[in-house]
Amino acid sequence: METKYNLKSPAVKRLMQEAQELSQATSEYHAQPVDDNLFEWHFSVRGPEDSDFEGGIYHGRIILPPEYPMKPPTIMLLTPNGRFEVSRKICLSISGHHPESWVPSWSIRTALLAIIGFMPSPGMGAIASLDYTKEERQKLAKKSHEFECPECGKVRHLLQEPSHSDDGKDADAVQAEAREIASQVIMKGEMNTDIPARETRVEEQPSSVDRVLTASNSQQYNYFIAAILVVVAVLLFRRFVSVPTD
């Protein structure tokens, strides 16, 4: 692989480093380049515990741009799962749909953990999102073990078996990290949706111009009342003055 790419390329250096770091499968995730193609990876993630996806193994594909890590990867799921559409680009802050949110320090591992953390979240109408029922997702989780990738083979053989030993503690730590990453990415996504609410609150507060106009109107109203009182007083005075005396 080294002779196939320009080793001076930042993307090649970074991806070769990540391929080495992810070379050993864990019980929660695994990812490697396909056929020595550094810019196309396949991955597998285990469904998060205590969710509709628990027990499932989900396989997917990552396409990395030549500008990686300065630009984000494109991510899609290949295994039917009930949360993301199959073979469609996932719309997340860590994916190609939101290059403005991408942070170059994020990695393929970050993307895998974000997917794990995002799976239990509601679709909210996002691109390529699904909101299947709990029963449908649980059925797909069991069926996911039968999925076979033309490139990687049966997905159930791609991850280590979970255990209750120290590896189990590591799995719990990975799940916790996945939830943390997902929450950070969600907050990034919600920053834009929070702007209208903030603008609404500002609009509800009267501006300085409004306050001046309000004060002016109030002053004009007081002048009007005073003028009426003066007119009434003059009329009453004339009436009393014109009354004949005996």
- The predicted-structure confidence for 111-125, as pLDDT tens digits, reads as follows 999 999 999 998 888
pLDDT digits (tens, 9 = 90+) for 29-59: 999 999 879 999 999 999 999 999 999 999 9
Q: What is the mean pLDDT of residues 9-28?
A: 95
Q: Which of 53-57, 195-199, 205-209, 241-245 has the highest mean pLDDT?
A: 53-57
Cα–Cα distance measured from residue 13 to residue 65, given in angstroms and rounded to the nearest whole number: 14
Question: What was the pLDDT predicted at 176?
Answer: 86
d(CA 40, CA 65): 9
| In the predicted structure, residue 188 carries a pLDDT above the cut 50 | no
Cα–Cα distance for residue pair 109/231, rounded to 1 Å:
84
Using a pLDDT cut of 70, give the percent of the chain over it: 76
The position carrying tokens 């083979």 is: 153
Mean pLDDT of all residues belonging to the chain:
81
d(CA 238, CA 242): 6
Cα dihedral 113/161/122/127 (nearest 10) = 60
Taking only the tens place, the pLDDT of each residue in 129-169 is 899 999 999 999 999 999 999 999 999 999 998 874 445 66
Tokens of 17: 């480093």
85: left (phi over 0), alpha (psi -120 to 50) or beta: beta
pTM value is 0.71
Place of tokens 């864990």: 26
Catalytic status, residue 152: no
Question: Quick one: pLDDT band at residue 205, thresholds 50, 70, 90?
Answer: very low
pLDDT at 99: 86
Q: Is the pLDDT of residue 183 over 70?
A: yes
Please tell me the predicted confidence (pLDDT) of residue 223: 66
Return the pLDDT at 126. 81
Check 91, 126, 149, 159 and give the catalytic one. Answer: 91
50-64 b/e with 16+ CB inside 10 Å = b? Answer: ebbbeebbbbbbbeb
pLDDT at residue 101 is higher than 90? no
Q: Note the pLDDT of residue 163.
A: 72
